[in-house]
Structure 1
Amino acid sequence: MNALSAYDPFAIKGATVSIEALLNTQLLAQDTSRLKNDRTKSRKAGDQRSFFRGQGREFIEMKHYQNGDDIRRIDWKITARKQLPFVRVMEEDRHAEQAIWINLTPSCYFGTSRCLKSVMLVHWAAFLVWRFLHLKHPLRLMIQVGDKFDEFKISNKQQAAQACHALAASHENLANTYQTIPDSTDINWPSHWRGKPNLWLLSDFQQTNLSMIRQAIPVSRINKITLLQVVDHFEQELPRSGRLPVKHRSTQTVIDTERHSARTEHADQFLLKQQSLAQLAHYFGGLLISASNQSFDWQDVSKWPV
Structure 2
Amino acid sequence: MSNETLTLPDYANGVTLCLEELLAYKQQAVRWLPPAKSLWATVLGQHQSRQLGRGMDFAEVRQYQAGDDIRSIDWRVTARTGKPHTKLFTEEKEKPVMLYIDLTRSLFFGSTYLLKSVQLAHMASLLAWLSLAQKDRIGAVIDTGDALLELRPSNRNQGPLGIIQQLITVHNQRLEQPHHQAPISFERALTTLNRLCPKGSEIILLSDFTRFEPQHDALIGQLRQHNRVRMVQFWDPLEHGTTNFRGVEQVSDSFTTQWLDFASKQTRTVLANSFQARQDALKSTALSHGVSFSAISSASPLLQQLFG
Same fold (TM over 0.5): yes
Q: CA deviation at 1:273?
A: 0.7
Instruction: Give 5+ residue unaligned stretches, structure 1.
Output: 1-6, 40-62, 74-89
User: Which protein has the larger Cα radius of gyration, Structure 1 or Structure 2?
Assistant: 2
Structure 2 CA distance for partners of 1:238 and 1:255, relative to 1, 3 Å: farther
Give unmatched runs, 5+ long, in structure 2: 1-6, 39-45, 57-88
Who is 1:3 aligned against? none
Q: What is the number of equivalent residue pairs in this alignment? A: 253
- SS at 1:64's partner residue? coil
- Shift of the 158–183 alpha-carbon distance from structure 1 to 2, 3 Å rule, reads closer
Are 1:103 and 1:203, in contact at CA under 8 Å, matched by a contact in 2? yes
Deviation, structure 1 residue 166: 0.7
Query: 1:170 — aligned with what?
Result: 170
The answer to whether structure 1 residue 133 and structure 2 residue 132 are counterparts is yes
Which of 283, 287, 291 pairs up with 2:296?
Answer: 291
In the other structure, the counterpart of 1:59 is none
From 260, 263, 268, give the equivalent of 2:268. 263
Change (3 A) 1:102 1:92: farther
- The corresponding residue for 1:232 is 236
Residue 205 of structure 1 contacts residue 229 of structure 1 at CA under 8 Å; is this kept in 2?
A: yes
Match of 1:82 in 2: none
Distance 2:121 2:281 in 1: 24
* Residues in 1 aligned to 2:170 and 2:29: alpha-carbon distance in whole angstroms: 22
Quick one: structure 1 residues 140 and 210, their matched pair in 2 at CA, closer, same or farther if it must change by over 3 Å?
Answer: farther
Q: Structure 1 pair 211/12, CA: closer, same or farther in 2 (3 Å)?
A: farther
Q: Does 1:280 align with 2:288?
A: no
Residue in 2 aligned with 1:15?
15
What is the letter of the counterpart of residue 137 of structure 2?
P
Q: Is the 8 A contact 1:29 1:130 kept in 2?
A: yes
Which residue number corresponds to residue 27 of structure 1?
27
TM-superposition CA deviations, 1:197-243 (whole Å, max 9, x none): 12100011123335325336614544221111111110122535232
Matches within 5 A, 1:1-306: 10=10, 13-32=13-32, 37-38=36-37, 64-65=47-48, 92=91, 95-152=94-151, 153-183=153-183, 185-186=185-186, 187=189, 188-190=191-193, 191-212=195-216, 214-215=218-219, 218-219=222-223, 221-239=225-243, 240-249=245-254, 251-298=256-303, 300-301=305-306
Per-residue deviation at 1:121? Answer: 0.6
In 2, the alpha carbon distance for the partners of 1:227 and 1:11 equals 28
Amino acid at match of 1:168: I
TM-score w.r.t. structure 1 length? 0.72
Question: Normalised by the size of structure 2, how large is the TM-score?
Answer: 0.71
Q: Distance in 2 between matches of 1:9 and 1:260?
A: 34
C-alpha distance in 1 between matches for 2:233 and 2:224: 23
| Equivalent AA in structure 1 for residue 290 of structure 2 | G
**Is the CA contact (8 Å cut-off) linking 2:100 and 2:142 kept in structure 1?**
yes
SS of corresponding position for 2:170: helix
Cα offset, 1:283, TM superposition: 2.7
Pick closer, same or farther for the CA change 1:208–1:32 going to 2, 3 Å: same
| CA–CA distance in structure 2, aligned partners of residues 210 and 22 of structure 1 | 34
- Backbone CA RMSD of aligned residues: 3.2
Offset, 1:33:
5.1
Q: After the TM superposition, which parts of structure 1 deviate over 4 Å for at least 4 consecutive aligned residues?
A: 7-13
Distance in structure 2 (CA, Å) of the matches to 1:161 and 1:119: 17
Q: Percent identity?
A: 23
Residue 170 of structure 1, CA deviation: 1.6
Distance 2:94 2:289 in 1: 21
- Conserved? CA contact 2:8–2:301, under 8 Å: no
Which residue does 1:43 correspond to in 2? none
Q: Larger deviation: 97-106 or 237-246?
A: 237-246
